[in-house]
Homo-oligomer: A and B are copies of this chain.
Amino acid sequence: MAEKKGIKIATIGGGSSYTPELMEGFIKRYDELPIREIWLVDIEAGREKLEIVGKMAQRMWDASPYDVKVHLTLNREEALKDADFVTTQFRVGLLEARIKDERIPAYYGMVGQETNGAGGMFKAFRTIPVILEIVEDMKRLCPNAWLVNFANPSGMVTEAVVRYGKWDKVIGLCNVPVMAMMTEPKLLEVEKEDLIYKFAGLNHFHWHKVADKDGNDITLKLIDKLYEGDAGLPKNIWDLPFYKEQLVQMQMVPCGYHRYYYREEEMLQHAMEEYKTIGTRAQQVKQTETELFELYKDPNLSHKPEQLEQRGGAYYSDAACETIASIYANKETQIVVSTKNNGAVPDLPADCVVEVTAYVGAQGARNVAFGSLPTAERGWLQVMKNMELLTIEAAITGDYGTALQAFTLNPLVRSGDTAIRILKELLIAHKEYLPQFAETIAKLEREGIEVQDEIARELCKEKITV
């Protein structure tokens, strides 16, 4: 590898507000990960952000003891050329697209969410064609590089890279397990090092078990702790509690996103309230982002600002840095990653992508074999993985029937005419980013389908420029 000349990192979507966290992670690990140069690449529409965050990134390195050059470019090929690691954190259509993903379903009383339900599927439709282009570029320009993806929906994106891109040197990341492993030790009043974790499932849809350092499974004890305190509500990261009897039955702890599936009613209610009042999550995030970029403009700022943690997705970039360092230095760190199953989750095919605890080293992820899951979780996993596979297939073929089948199979989409309407409006709304669906979209336009949510409709009219 790049031992002598130092490491080259290329970051696609380099203008992201997360970039400073990524820089901080690299600076912290410089001793084991001797970076020579970082290339932040973005598209024309992201030029301004790229410049702001790029300068900020260079300031961070300049304030460090290390001599690392941060290059800014709109030319992806230049950035990828001879890269050792490629990280992907782009969002096709920016936050504006996510706002549409959230508001158009919500207008019709359905869940709009970044990676779940109808919204998550459209994020996949937009992102997968782009990641496959990047993979093709990598085959030409940096065939030995590792791709570390945290573009969402991270599991489906990683699956597309492996299955259709035929690129195995990829690891998909998620900050959700990181958060669990940070908060739960406190609840149990032990150190993180004193717990043994085992995760299995899919990205944003995994469960975990935990044991103490003597190897005794203490998942039920953890579940008890989650429900201690006033009013029977858990005092922990979950805003909305799971039903305790359900967790006791499964003897595992679900991830936060399982609330959409285990308490669909309340999650939807909450989303509808936000939709009608303060705006959906992306709208809130957009505000935070604007503030962040204002901060980043400050020529005296040379460290990651605290506000970034409120952005959501905290520790995502740190997980990426740790993954890269583990691969580079063959550290065999335990990380929860999206990766080819290889049997670790025997209830799913050995060649699909899952999210599991793995020891990450120079060969990538060495997945810990979890063993078969209990009946309920097996059912969930199988329906979700097949929904993912259909979504990816639709993202590639642009076939309307396949998209409809994926929609129908998705547990968060209530099938019927309203779902069809949402599907059609989202196709129209994201027209610019869905060339694979061009024929269908043209037909819908002839039929006069229009986005009904006012904010989303206005966004469709704008020429997106950040």
Binding site for B on A (CB under 8 A): 1, 196, 198, 211-215, 217, 243, 245-246, 248-250, 261-267, 327, 330, 332, 334, 340-346, 350-351, 357, 359, 361-364, 366-372, 375-376, 378-380, 382-383, 385-387, 389-390, 393, 399-402, 404-406, 408-409, 411, 414-420
> Which 5 A/B pairs are nearest by Cβ-Cβ distance?
A265-B416, A379-B386, A249-B401, A215-B362, A343-B346
> Interface centre among A379, A414, A419, by most B CB within 10 Å?
A379
Contact A327-B215, Cβ < 8 Å, known A246-B404, A401-B248 = yes
Please tell me how many copies of the chain the complex holds. 4
B249, B267, B330, B405: the one within 8 Å of A213 (CB): B330
Whether the Cβ atoms of B368 and A367 lie closer than 8 Å is yes
Asked whether A249 lies within 8 Å of B402 as measured between CB atoms, the reply is yes
Question: Does the CB pair A340–B371 fall under 8 Å?
Answer: yes
Q: Which residues of B contact A417 (CB under 8 A)?
A: 263, 265-266
Cα distance, A370 to B340, chains bound together (Å): 11
Q: How far is the CB of A120 from chain B (nearest CB, A)?
A: 16
Contact of A408 among B261, B330, B364 (CB under 8 A): B261
Distance to closest chain B CB from A389 (angstroms)? 5
Extra inter-chain contacts (16) besides given A367-B369, A376-B409, CB under 8 Å? A196-B363, A198-B363, A212-B362, A213-B362, A246-B405, A262-B415, A263-B416, A264-B416, A267-B416, A332-B334, A343-B350, A367-B368, A368-B368, A379-B385, A379-B386, A379-B390
The answer to whether A416 and B266 have CB atoms under 8 Å apart is: yes
User: Could you give 17 example pairs across A and B, Cβ below 8 Å?
Assistant: A213-B362, A217-B363, A246-B404, A246-B408, A261-B415, A263-B417, A265-B414, A265-B417, A343-B370, A346-B346, A350-B371, A359-B359, A376-B406, A376-B408, A376-B409, A379-B387, A380-B383
Most buried by B among A198, A376, A385, A389: A376
Task: Give every chain B residue within 8 A of A383 (Cβ-Cβ).
Answer: 379-380, 382-383
A362–B415 touching, CB < 8 Å: no
In the bound complex, CA of A363 to CA of B359 (Å): 16
Give, as a whole number of angstroms, the nearest-CB distance from A56 to chain B: 32
- The one of B343, B359, B420 in contact with A343, judged by C-beta atoms closer than 8 angstroms, is B343
Query: CA–CA, A383 to B375, complex, Å?
Result: 10
Find A265's partner among B245, B327, B361, B415 (CB 8 Å cutoff): B415
Cα A213 to Cα B3 in complex, Å, equals 12
| A379 cross-chain contacts in B, Cβ below 8 A | 382-383, 385-387, 390, 409
Cα(A379)–Cα(B383), bound, Å: 4
Residues from chain B with a CB closer than 8 A to the CB of A359 are 359, 368
Q: How far is the CA of A181 from the CA of B267 in the complex (A)?
A: 43
Give chain B residues whose Cβ lies under 8 Å from the Cβ of A416.
263-267
Contact call B363/A211, Cβ cutoff below 8 A:
yes
Are B415 and A264 neighbours in the complex by a CB distance under 8 Å?
yes
Q: Which of B246, B341, B342, B366 contacts A401 (CB 8 A)?
A: B246
The answer to whether A414 touches B264, judged by C-beta atoms less than 8 angstroms apart, is: yes
Q: Select from chain B the residue with minimum beta-carbon distance to A260.
A: B415
- Chain B residues positioned under 8 Å from A198 (CB to CB): 363, 366
Q: A246-B401, A246-B408 are in contact. Are A369 and B382 (CB under 8 A)?
A: no
Residue of B nearest to A368 (CB): B366
The docked-state distance in angstroms from the alpha carbon of A399 to that of B246 is: 11
Q: How far is the CA of A304 from the CA of B347 in the complex (A)?
A: 48
**Complex Cα gap A242–B371 (Å):** 34
Roughly how many angstroms separate A372 CA and B327 CA in the complex, as a whole number? 23
> Complex: how many Å from CA A341 to CA B369?
8
Q: Which of B214, B346, B375, B387 contacts A390 (CB 8 A)?
A: B375
Could you tell me if B340 and A343 are in contact, using CB atoms closer than 8 angstroms? Answer: no
How far is it, in angstroms, between the C-alpha of A300 and the C-alpha of B2 when the chains are bound? 56
- Complex Cα distance, B180 from A233, in Å, reads 51
A386 contacts B375, C-beta separation under 8 Å: yes
In contact, B390 and A386 (Cβ under 8 angstroms): no
Of A340, A359, A369, A411, which is in contact with the most chain B CB atoms at under 10 Å from its CB? A369
